[in-house]
Amino acid sequence: MKTERLQVLIDTEQRERLERVAARRGVSVASLVRRAIDVAYPSGLEQKAAIAAGILAAAPMDVPDPDDLRAELDLIRGRA
pLDDT tens column, 47-66? 888 889 999 999 998 888 99
36, 42 Cβ separation under 8 angstroms: no
Average pLDDT, the chain: 91
- Alpha-carbon span 80 to 76, nearest angstrom: 8
Count, residues in the chain: 80
- Alpha-carbon span 36 to 14, nearest angstrom: 13
pTM of the model: 0.54
Q: pLDDT > 90: what percent of the chain? A: 68
Q: What does DSSP assign to residue 16? A: H
pLDDT surpassing 90 at residue 7 = yes
The string of pLDDT tens digits covering residues 32-50 is 999 999 888 878 888 888 8
